[in-house]
């Protein structure tokens, strides 16, 4: 069956007017979806993947195929993990309420979670989503410092509330940034030496601080995803964020680390900011925290949160409810018991080595980079310009071969590989073999 993709097909710059052959079940589901879901939604891939189940690193499609998931960070310990199912079922049959009652579960989990952070980060506040946690972090920083200005990267994504969307320029040119928000240019480690990266970032942050101070807003915070994932997964040189944070602290602002994507062991450490030798004032946690059960959090120092906490009441009805906390506890259990941080280091190293090997045999590959199980392969054309069209073809070709990845960066020219932490050696070999085969066909 042939159909013209609707508005919801658009993702990563793919042509919404391209004819696509869909199997009848997928086409019917897509038509029904278009009639009932809001027009802002988007689907991945030229031919959407219709799924009916998931287990571990696999998604089962309505077409009967099994797809290797090398993209989803939400099921950090794998799809449909039995430990989460058991913990949630048990808690749901016992109690589900909010944090205005005194419950053992939320206190115990908070103690465990904070033990994974540097000692200075000793308070946690729960929300349902990362967007809410970003919103709370911004409110907290502004109240703590008395300043309004926020510094972000120019292709950042931090969420979808009014405040979070206001610091998420990657949502597109029609998404307005918030008041007193200044962007610094995305770094380009594929074309810039380590020394140049550090010098340019320092100059850009100095300029942003000067602009905010000149406007009277002052600097409330610099807010950065610790691995700059929406800016193309920029990982090296490790430590390049530290001088920027010093500048912001000197200007009276705080450092907010967005850990939604790099956190929970993906980079081999518990938290992405650890690669930079930093201790943030505030850290935002999100999607992977409950392996798909909605829970997020703001972790921070007592000093950063004290003024806001003493003078403004904050309450989130479902944030930190016992059922979500049970899921989050199961995630910590599995990461620790199954050695998933160590697995991220082992399998991530294998993937990086394999991607680099592929890159040396294909002159369209400009750069390969990664931190454990968060990797990127960037393409450029003969003139050295970002080749988003090739990246899109590779992403779709991989999907057609049963491996799910995505693309990232200001030009969407870098493959984004970010599998669940249970990805193993066999899965990595399948991904690399498939990528080589797809590249040969492009």
Integer Cα distance of 317 and 209 in angstroms? 36
Among 237-241, 288-292, 329-333, 383-387, where is mean pLDDT lowest?
237-241
In the chain, CATH 3.90.1150.10 covers 2-16+34-77+340-440
pLDDT per residue as tens digits for the range 168-184: 999 999 999 999 999 99
Name which of 198, 120, 131 is nearest 160 in CA terms: 131
Residue 396 near residue 423 (C-beta atoms within 8 A):
no
Residue 57 token pair: 């690193």
pTM for this prediction: 0.94
The domain defined by 82-337 folds into 3.40.640
pLDDT band at 413 (very low <50, low <70, confident <90, very high): very high
User: Does the structure show a pLDDT above 70 at 87?
Assistant: yes
pLDDT band at 393 (very low <50, low <70, confident <90, very high): very high
Q: What is the pLDDT of residue 8?
A: 32
User: Does the structure show a pLDDT above 60 at 11?
Assistant: no
pLDDT band at 18 (very low <50, low <70, confident <90, very high): low
Q: What is the pLDDT of residue 27?
A: 87
Q: What is the pLDDT of residue 10?
A: 39
Among 30-39, 144-153, 368-377, where is mean pLDDT lowest?
30-39
pLDDT per residue as tens digits for the range 93-143: 999 999 889 899 999 999 999 999 999 999 999 999 999 999 999 999 999
Q: How much is the average pLDDT of 387-396?
A: 97
User: Does the structure show a pLDDT above 50 at 14?
Assistant: no
User: Does the structure show a pLDDT above 50 at 411?
Assistant: yes
pLDDT band at 40 (very low <50, low <70, confident <90, very high): confident
Neighbouring residues of 120: CB distance < 8 A, sequence distance ≥ 6 = 279, 301
Q: How much is the average pLDDT of 344-361?
A: 98
User: Does the structure show a pLDDT above 80 at 4?
Assistant: no
Q: What is the CATH number of domain 2-16+34-77+340-440?
A: 3.90.1150.10
Q: How much is the average pLDDT of 258-269?
A: 96
Percent of the chain with pLDDT over 90: 89
Integer Cα distance of 99 and 112 in angstroms? 17
Name which of 12, 48, 54 is nearest 27 in CA terms: 48
Q: Which residue has the higher pLDDT, 6 or 211?
A: 211
As a three-state string, the secondary structure of the chain is CEECCCHHHCCCCCCCCCCEECCHHHHHHHHHHHHHCCCCCCCCCCCCCCEEEEEECEEEECCCCEEEECCCCCCCCCECCHHHHHHHHHHHCCCCCCCCCCCHHHHHHHHHHHCCCCCCEEEEEEECCHHHHHHHHHHHHHHHHCCCEEEEECCCCCCCCHHHHCCCHHHCCCCCCCCCEEEECCCCCCCCCHHHHHHHHHHHHHHHHHHHHHHCCCEEEEEEECCCCCCCCCCCCCCCCHHHHHHHHHCCCEEEEECCCCCCCCCCCCCHHHHHCCCCCEEEECHHHHCCCCCEEEEEEHHHHHHHHHHCCCCCCCCCCHHHHHHHHHHHHHHHHCCHHHHHHHHHHHHHHHHHHHHHCCCCEEEEEECCCCEEEEEECCCCCECHHHHHHHHHHHHHCCEECEEECCCCCEEEECCCCCCCHHHHHHHHHHHHHHHHCC
In the chain, CATH 3.40.640.10 covers 82-337
pLDDT per residue as tens digits for the range 292-315: 999 999 999 999 999 999 999 998
Neighbouring residues of 145: CB distance < 8 A, sequence distance ≥ 6 = 218, 219, 220, 221, 252, 253, 254
User: Does the structure show a pLDDT above 90 at 17?
Assistant: no
User: Does the structure show a pLDDT above 90 at 3?
Assistant: no
Q: What is the pLDDT of residue 42?
A: 87
Q: Quote the mean pLDDT of the chain.
A: 94
Q: How much is the average pLDDT of 391-403?
A: 97
Q: What is the pLDDT of residue 109?
A: 98
Q: How much is the average pLDDT of 16-22?
A: 65
Q: What is the pLDDT of residue 24?
A: 85
């Amino acid at each position: 069956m042939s159909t013209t993709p609707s508005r919801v097909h658009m993702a990563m710059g793919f042509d919404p007017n391209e004819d696509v052959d869909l199997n009848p079940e997928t086409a019917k589901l897509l038509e029904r979806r278009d009639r009932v879901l809001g027009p802002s939604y988007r689907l991945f891939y030229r031919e959407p993947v219709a799924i009916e189940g998931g287990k571990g690193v696999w998604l089962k499609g309505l077409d009967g195929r099994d797809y290797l998931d090398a993209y989803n960070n939400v099921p950090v310990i794998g799809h449909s993990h039995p430990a989460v199912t058991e913990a949630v079922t048990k808690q749901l049959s016992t109690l589900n309420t909010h944090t205005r009652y005194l419950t053992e579960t939320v206190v115990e989990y908070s103690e465990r979670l904070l033990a994974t952070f540097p000692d200075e980060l000793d308070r946690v506040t729960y929300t349902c989503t990362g967007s809410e946690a970003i919103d709370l972090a911004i409110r907290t920083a502004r109240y703590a410092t008395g300043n309004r200005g926020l510094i972000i990267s120019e292709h950042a994504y931090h969420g979808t509330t009014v405040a979070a969307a206001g610091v998420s320029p990657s949502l597109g040119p029609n998404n307005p940034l918030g008041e007193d928000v200044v962007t610094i240019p995305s770094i380009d480690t594929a074309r810039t030496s380590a020394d140049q990266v550090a010098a340019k970032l320092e100059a850009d942050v100095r300029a942003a601080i000067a602009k905010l101070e000149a406007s009277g807003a002052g600097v409330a915070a610099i807010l950065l995803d610790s691995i700059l994932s929406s800016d193309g997964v920029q990982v090296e040189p490790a430590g390049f964020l530290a001088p920027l944070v010093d500048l912001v602290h000197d200007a009276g602002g705080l450092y907010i680390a967005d850990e939604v994507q790099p956190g929970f062991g993906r980079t081999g450490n518990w938290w992405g900011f650890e690669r930079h030798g930093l201790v943030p004032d505030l850290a935002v946690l999100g999607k992977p925290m409950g392996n798909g059960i909605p829970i997020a959090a703001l972790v921070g120092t007592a000093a950063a949160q004290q003024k806001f906490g003493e003078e403004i009441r904050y309450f989130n009805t479902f944030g930190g409810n016992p059922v979500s906390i049970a899921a989050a506890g199961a995630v910590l259990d599995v990461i620790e018991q199954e050695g998933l941080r160590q697995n991220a280091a082992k399998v991530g190293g294998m993937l990086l080595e394999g991607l680099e090997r592929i890159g040396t045999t294909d002159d369209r590959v400009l750069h390969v980079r990664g931190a454990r199980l968060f990797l990127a392969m960037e393409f450029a054309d003969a003139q050295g310009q970002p080749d988003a069209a090739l990246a899109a073809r590779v992403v779709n070709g991989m999907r057609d071969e049963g491996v799910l990845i995505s693309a990232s960066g200001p030009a969407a020219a870098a493959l984004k590989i970010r599998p669940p932490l249970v990805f193993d050696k066999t899965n990595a070999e399948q991904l690399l073999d498939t990528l080589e085969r797809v590249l040969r066909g492009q």
